[in-house]
């Protein structure tokens, strides 16, 4: 069952997140080392300079988050005590970045005429969304276990 952090499905999702973020590191680093037009289909009028600056900032944040995500994946498989809080952080940043990127590129009109190109990039992100939900459940379960232990200690 996926709600068990030690299940095969959970391990697959965490491993997928690591692979996804490793590829993300390569793409973001390549883009940031050779700045220019973003590597996404542009809106009809092209990329405006202020949009390029915003996407550069997002790529930098994404790069840092992707590195931390790999640390989370390592911590998960090494059973480090800190892996859950780091996973919660990196997955939250990943979700936030995806929402901001999606909203921004739709609002700029970049999806017009490029719908399939943009939708195709979201297919590998689906397991990340599932992992975000699972890690949220795991974190909530961990908090209620801590509360139960504190309550038992206080009751004694």
- Parts of the chain with a pLDDT under 50: 143-152, 155-156
How far is it, in rounded angstroms, from Cα 106 to Cα 49?
Answer: 17
DSSP state of 124: G
> What pLDDT does 147 receive?
37
Domain boundaries, the chain: 8-155
> What pLDDT does 151 receive?
45
Q: In this structure, what is the dihedral angle of CA atoms 53, 59, 102, 88, given to the nearest 10 degrees?
A: -140
Q: How far is CA 116 from the centre of its chain?
A: 21
* Other residues' Cβ atoms within 10 Å of the Cβ of residue 7: 13
> What pLDDT does 144 receive?
31
Is pTM, for the whole model, over 0.75? yes
What is the token pair recorded at 121? 């990039």
> What pLDDT does 40 receive?
81
Residues 6+ apart with CB under 8 A from 86: 68, 71, 72, 75
- CA nearest neighbour of 70 among 139, 20, 135: 20
What is the token pair recorded at 77? 């498989």
> What pLDDT does 154 receive?
52
> What pLDDT does 63 receive?
96
């Amino acid at each position: 069952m996926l709600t068990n952090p030690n299940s095969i499905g959970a391990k697959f999702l965490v491993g997928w997140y690591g692979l996804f973020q490793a590829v993300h590191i390569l793409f973001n680093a390549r883009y940031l080392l050779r700045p220019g037009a973003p590597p996404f289909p542009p809106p009809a009028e092209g990329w405006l300079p202020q949009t390029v600056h915003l996407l550069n900032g997002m790529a930098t944040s994404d790069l840092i988050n992707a590195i931390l995500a790999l640390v989370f994946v390592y911590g998960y498989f090494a059973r480090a005590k800190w892996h859950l809080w780091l996973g919660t952080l990196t997955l939250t940043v990943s979700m936030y970045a995806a929402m901001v990127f999606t909203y921004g590129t739709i609002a700029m009109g970049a999806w017009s005429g490029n719908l399939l190109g943009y939708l195709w990039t979201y297919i590998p992100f689906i397991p990340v969304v599932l992992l975000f939900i699972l890690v949220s459940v795991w974190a909530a379960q961990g908090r209620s276990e801590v509360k139960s232990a504190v309550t038992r200690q206080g009751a004694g």
